[in-house]
Amino acid sequence: MLIVAVLFTVYIVSPTVLGQQVIRQNVLAGEDALLRCSLTDGGSVNWFGPRGMMLFWREMRLIPDVRFELQRPYSDSWNLVIRNTKEADAGSYICNATHPTKTELTVSKKAQILPSLSSGDKRIEEGGNVSLTCKARGYPEPQITWYKVEDNQEETFVGSGQQLSITEIRREDAGVYKCTAFNGIGTKDTREIEIFVEYSPAILS
């Protein structure tokens, strides 16, 4: 006899109970998240995820994503495990037990500069204007800082934010500019952009 198991997704309005316990939990993207829930009356529980999606009905997983597991180290434990967390996993999770537990899960991710959305090396005529862009992603939102790298490798702070604008550029402004992105997670990400300033030759007296 052939038995076919079908996994399906159930959307239902998750329970809202006054006075339910709220737990705030943070995990780094790529790591596993453990959301604890226990039951004292010997019954069973249901797990709801973001947008009211039912993840588990008792011990049956109702979503196709195998990263979501139900872990029961003890008879009264109904813990939800999310393997290899992604940014999209962030949100509210509710364990519908005797005393419902709500876990607000945030997923932090190291700042990462996006080369395809950031400036490359630029050539500009002296007296012109130039704007450099440095875009990054991560959670919390990364802070962008700009430095000019001098010949002796010292770095001089020149601005902050995704864009650095230089108006009426001079030949002295030519050189390497470095943007750094940091959000408190891991190490800073950096990108170097070189500006070449073109100017007419002049006869030195």
Amino acid 20: pLDDT = 61
Segments forming the whole domain that contains residue 42: 20-109
- Residue 4 forms part of a structural domain: no
The domain that holds 157 is classified in CATH as: 2.60.40.10
Residues 25 and 105 in one domain: yes
Backbone φ and ψ for 64, nearest 5 degrees, come out as -75, -15
Per-residue pLDDT band for 101 (boundaries 50, 70, 90) equals confident
Residues 136 and 68 in one domain: no
Both tokens assigned to 161: 């934010």
Residues 192 and 162 in one domain: yes
Domain boundary among 109, 125, 151: 109
Kindly give the pairing relationship between strand 189-198 and strand 122-125.
parallel
The string over 150-167, giving b where at least 16 C-beta atoms fall within 10 Å of a residue's C-beta and e elsewhere, is eeeeeeeeebeebebebe
Q: What is the pLDDT of residues 45-83, one digit of tens each?
A: 899 999 889 999 999 999 999 999 999 998 888 999 999
Residues 25 and 91 in one domain: yes
Bridge partners of 137, per DSSP, are 112
Q: Please state the domain count of the chain.
A: 2
